Structure 1
Amino acid sequence: MTDEGSLRERLIDVGVELVLSEGSGSVGLREIARRAGVSHGAPRRYFPTHDALLSAVARRGFEDLGARFETAVAGTTTPRGQLEALARAYVGYALERRGMFELMFRHDLLDSAPQVPGRSRLRESTLPLFRHFAELVARCRRPDGPEEAEAPPAVTAAALWSSLHGIAQLWAWGSLQLALGDPPSDGEPGDARRDRLIGAVLDAHLGPVPS
């Protein structure tokens, strides 16, 4: 990697660290320059706007999430099993890396035109993940099922995604724990309770697993 490329990556590294430790509101060009030990104007060579910088940081988040998805489904062969593994990885990532997770799904960044020549819009990092969800939803459906009564796979995938996003956000706020009883009277650990919620969401959108 060239020195210029190395500096660009170092600036993104600093941005990622800031997002994870202090949230996306802390990420500014001047602060990143200060922490990277370069002049205040240096980041402008690579990121002409604040949104361009945030987009580059968020892209790292999607790369990380994609790698976790690959690990989660390794050895899982059924579409339903893969969806459940992806769902758990998604909620787990959201809770572990809250600042990055919130940044990644900012629509103003996802829908913005590329700020740097030769680089695609950030949404191009998101749509393949969603299409994969929709493909798995389609494969989960029974071949002899009543297709006319079912929503298109993309609609069901969007509803499923929304439910998982809601679990992640409400769990992070403590709302679900309150609703379910915190501390739980049965002694069930938090991870297990979240997994039960994820299973209930899959059942609601896809139907129960055939016995």
Structure 2
Amino acid sequence: MESGSSLRERLVDVGVDLVLTEGTASLGLREIARRAGVSHGAPRRHFPTHHALLSAIARRGFADLGARFATAARGAASPHGQLRALGRAYVAYALECRGMFELMFRHDLLTSENEVSGQPPLRESTLPLFEHFAGLVARCRADRVGQGSETPQDAETPAAVIAAALWSNLHGVAQLWAWGSLQLVLGASPSVVGTSDDDLLDRLVAAALDAHLGPVNA
């Protein structure tokens, strides 16, 4: 007989596969149960609500994204270099795993409690990633102070606010690229004609960092 923990993990495994291959619209409890080979009521024994199961699936996405962040940052010594690597990894993940990316940042999941199944609220997977991001922003600002390039206006804005604005910028890059909007508006620009998608995405991430943190050599 299959243990409760292994069935729970199998249900999450099936949900992860579904969201990565077919998107968030496929994540019904009945469909997950069918593909896991169990009765449609079986998921309720481990996930009291649909949100609880979706949160467990999204938590896998945050674990994957966190691992990609760690790998991306290894080759960058400076805080600015690490932020650029993380920004590029964030956009790449959004484009590669669109269904999971959409699921991970749904506010209704981030605020749902999941005490019955023994799992913390999904926000506890989100906050450490943002706090790491904000910490790198604070270190970048400290470097600018050391260089004498931070303005009084810069000093008045908390690092967390700048980090949130930068995150919003990167999220927007990912979404607009996925929809084809950025390719459309940049396609006729002489400065980007002939530029590969990877190079253009790198330039967009670099421009976002420069806009919020200033150029590296400012």
TM-score by length of 2: 0.91
Q: Which of 148, 156, 159 is the aligned partner of 2:162?
A: 156
Partner of 2:217: 210
* Cα distance between partner residues in 1 of 2:198 and 2:205: 11
Match of 2:145 in 1: 143
Partners of 1:45 and 1:122 lie apart in 2 by 20
Deviations 1:75-103 (A, max 9, x none): 32110000000000000000000000000
> Compared with structure 1, are the counterparts of its residues 134 and 37 closer, same or farther at alpha carbon in structure 2 (3 Å cutoff)?
same
Q: Give the one of 167, 188, 199 matched to 2:206.
A: 199
1:109-135 CA-to-partner distances (Å, cap 9, x unmatched) read 001112434321000000010011110
Change (3 A) 1:122 1:176: same
* Runs of 5+ consecutive residues of structure 1 not aligned to the other structure: none
Root-mean-square deviation (Å) = 1.7
For 2:75 and 2:174, locate their aligned partners in 1 and report how far apart those are by CA, in whole Å.
25
**Worse-matched range after superposition: 55-64 or 147-156:** 147-156
Contact map agreement 1:15 1:27 (CA 8 A) in 2: yes
Q: Aligned AA for 1:23? A: G
- Structure 2: state its 5+ residue gaps: none
| 4+ aligned runs moved over 6 Å, structure 1 | 182-185
Q: Sequence identity, in percent?
A: 70
Number of equivalences: 210
CA displacement, residues 138-192 of structure 1 (integer Å, 9 cap, x when unaligned): 1001234557422110000000000000000000000000000179873111010
Query: What TM-score does the superposition give when structure 1 sets the normalisation length?
Result: 0.94
